[in-house]
């Protein structure tokens, strides 16, 4: 974790370029969008993304929205559809997020998508966000720049009060106007409103010329099978394994003999950054069970254990 106070960058060309250079180097930079201040990390850098979860102190890995400056760059990471095109023309740049199929060749970190084969993308309209993203030329994962459970920041001082020394810089672009998160719409088999926001369901339905199903957050949480599906391996998962049983695929942590090691150095940022990839890789071997070493239940370990215990939970059907 970063101990020195974050740099405060001005909303100028020079500030935007420093912010982009810091992001390129894997550092965490908060910047204004038209909705709220986002805590940004290079979305292709697993470790930088893991540090977002560490800084926010999130108890679980939910998928993050990836922000782009250019539609052409964004399109390389998704399977683009006619409905996506219609909404993009009407509302981008702006406070609308689309959930689409992730392009198989996309280099976006699997931690950003929480191991799912879908991805949430947005082209923000705030000029400072556009300038930073344009200078970087890559996607940036950016949830709200606050500690988990606290309210979303609309000013640099809110970011600093909440995250203090846990980030590397904040770009001071004054107050965010909207103060409400982006509307999220899923465009997979049919349009589904996943999170209400400034752009209403009625507006979106009118633009698309068809009805939009609404999924309430509480329902999604009480019925995990319906949530755009949390990634679960096909293999059975056994947690807190201190020895290995015959035939198990071994996912280690620390100094153990295993098939893949989340972090031989017991570094939780490294472990988080490897988690989804390694689960996928072991699962792809086609064995019946994956055994996982104990992970310390502190800091990022809490989110890692949350994900692992979901993977190990009994399945319905
Ligand atoms: P935040 O980044 O904190 O603004 O929140 C991101 C929101 O987008 C969360 O509510 C996520 O559940 C949602 N989200 C991101 N990616 C996906 C996805 N692939 N499928 C469904 N929801 C997503
Ligand atoms: Mg938030």
Supply the DSSP string of the chain, one letter for each residue: ---SPPEEEESSHHHHHHHHHHHHTT--EEEE-SSSEEEEEETT-HHHHHHHHHHHT-SS----EEE-S-HHHHHTTB---HHHHHHHHHH-SSSEEEEEEBPTT----TTTTTT-SEEEEE----HHHHHHHHHHTS-EE--BSS-TTSPPPSSHHHHHHHHGGGSSEEEE----SS-SPPEEEEESSSEEEEE--SS-HHHHHHHHTS--EE--HHHHHH-TTTSS-----SSEEE-S-SS--TT-EEEE-SS---SEES-TT--HHHHHHHHHHHHHHHHHTT-SEEEE----SSTHHHHHHHHHHHHHSPPP-
User: In residues, how long is the chain?
Assistant: 317
Q: Is the pLDDT of residue 227 over 70?
A: no
Specify the CATH number for the domain of residue 293: 3.40.50.11030
pLDDT of 221 above 70: no
Q: Whose CA is nearest to atom 14 of ligand 1?
A: 63
The mean pLDDT of 182-196, rounded to a whole number, is: 93
Instruction: Burial-class residue 26 by CB neighbours within 10 Å (0-12, 13-18, 19+).
Output: middle
| Structural domain contains residue 244 | yes
Contact 148, 56 (CB under 8 A): yes
- Ligand 1 pocket, 101 CB below 6 A? no
Residue 168 has a pLDDT of 98
Beta carbon of 64 within 6 Å of any ligand 1 atom: yes
* Same domain flag for 138 and 259: no
pLDDT in tens, 250-297: 999 999 999 999 999 999 999 999 999 999 999 999 999 999 999 999
Of the ranges 144-148, 215-219, 291-295, which one carries the lowest mean pLDDT score?
A: 215-219
Indicate whether 199 and 257 sit together in one domain: no
Strand-pair category, 96-101 with 169-172? unpaired
Our answer on whether the CB atom of 33 is closer than 6 Å to any ligand 1 atom is no
pLDDT beyond 50 at 226: no
Residues 290 and 166 placed together within one structural domain of the fold? no
- Ligand 1 center–CA 184 separation, angstroms: 8
**45 domain residue, yes or no:** yes
Predicted pLDDT at 177: 78
At residue 216, φ and ψ (nearest 5 deg) are: -80, 140
> Could you tell me if the CB of 55 is within 6 A of ligand 1?
no
Residue 249 has pLDDT above 60, yes or no: yes
Q: Comparing C-alpha atoms, which of 117, 265, 134, 122 is closest to residue 188?
A: 117
Q: Among candidates 31, 316, 307, which has minimal Cα distance to 169?
A: 31
Quick one: 206 and 265 in the same domain?
no
pLDDT given at position 158 = 93
Do 192 and 61 fall within a single domain?
Answer: yes
Question: Which ligand number lies closest to the CA of residue 65?
Answer: 1
- Confirm whether 229 is domain-assigned: no
Structure tokens at 259: 């098939």
The pLDDT > 90 percentage for the chain reads 80
Residue 216 pLDDT > 80:
no
Q: What per-residue string of b and e applies to 164-202 under the rule 16 or more CB within 10 Å gives b? A: eebbbbbbbbeebebebbbbbbbbeeebbbbeebbbebe
Is residue 232 very low, low, confident or very high in pLDDT (cuts 50, 70, 90)? confident
* Together in a domain, 191 and 60: yes
Asked if the structure places residue 26 within a domain, the reply is yes
Task: State whether 261 and 156 are in the same domain.
Answer: no
The domain in which residue 189 lies consists of: 7-214
pLDDT at 219 over 60: no
169 CA → ligand 2 middle, Å:
18
- Predicted pLDDT at 31: 98
For helices 300-312 and 268-284, the axis angle rounded to 10 degrees is: 20
Residues 202 and 259 in one domain: no
pLDDT at 214: 81
Q: Judge residue 310's burial from the number of C-beta atoms within 10 Å of its C-beta, 0-12 exposed, 13-18 middle, 19 or more buried.
A: middle
* Beta-bridge mates of residue 99: 120, 186
Q: Are residues 74 and 152 in the same domain?
A: yes
Find the range with the poorest average confidence among 103-112, 130-139, 252-261, 300-309: 300-309
Question: Do both 51 and 118 map to the same domain?
Answer: yes
Omega cis (within 30) before 93: yes
Name the pTM for this structure: 0.90
- 231 within some domain: no
Q: Does 38 sit in the ligand 1 pocket, CB within 6 Å? A: no
Over residues 80-107, the mean pLDDT reads 97
Question: Count of domains in the chain?
Answer: 2
């Amino acid at each position: 974790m970063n101990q020195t106070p974050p740099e405060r960058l001005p909303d100028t060309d020079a500030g935007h370029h420093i912010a982009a250079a810091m992001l390129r180097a894997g550092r965490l930079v908060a910047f204004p969008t038209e909705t709220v201040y986002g805590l940004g990390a290079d979305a292709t850098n697993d470790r930088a993304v893991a540090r977002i979860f560490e800084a926010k102190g999130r108890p679980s890995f939910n998928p993050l929205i990836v922000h782009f400056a250019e539609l052409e760059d964004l399109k390389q990471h998704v399977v683009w559809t006619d409905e996506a095109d219609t909404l993009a023309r009407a509302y981008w740049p702006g406070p609308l997020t689309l959930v689409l199929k992730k392009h198989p060749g996309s280099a976006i970190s699997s931690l950003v998508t929480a191991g799912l084969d879908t991805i949430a993308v947005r082209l923000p309209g705030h000029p400072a966000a556009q300038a930073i993203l344009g200078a970087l030329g890559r996607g940036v994962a950016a949830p709200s720049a606050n500690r988990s459970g606290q309210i979303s920041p609309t000013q640099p001082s809110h970011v600093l009060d909440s995250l203090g020394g846990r980030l590397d810089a904040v770009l001071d672009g004054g107050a965010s106007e909207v103060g409400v998160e982006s509307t999220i719409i899923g465009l997979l088999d049919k349009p589904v409103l996943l999170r209400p926001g400034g752009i209403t369901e009625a507006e979106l339905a009118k633009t698309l010329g068809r009805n939009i199903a609404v999924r309430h957050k509480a329902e999604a949480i009480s019925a995990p099978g319906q949530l755009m599906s949390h990634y679960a391996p096909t293999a059975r998962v056994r947690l807190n394994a201190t020895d290995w049983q015959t035939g198990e695929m071994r996912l280690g942590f620390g100094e153990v003999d295993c098939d893949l090691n989340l972090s031989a150095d017991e570094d939780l940022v490294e472990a988080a950054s490897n988690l989804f990839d390694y689960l996928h890789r072991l699962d792809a071997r086609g064995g019946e069970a994956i055994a996982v070493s104990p992970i310390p239940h502190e800091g990022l370990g809490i989110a890692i254990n949350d994900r692992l215990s979901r993977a190990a939970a009994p399945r319905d059907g």
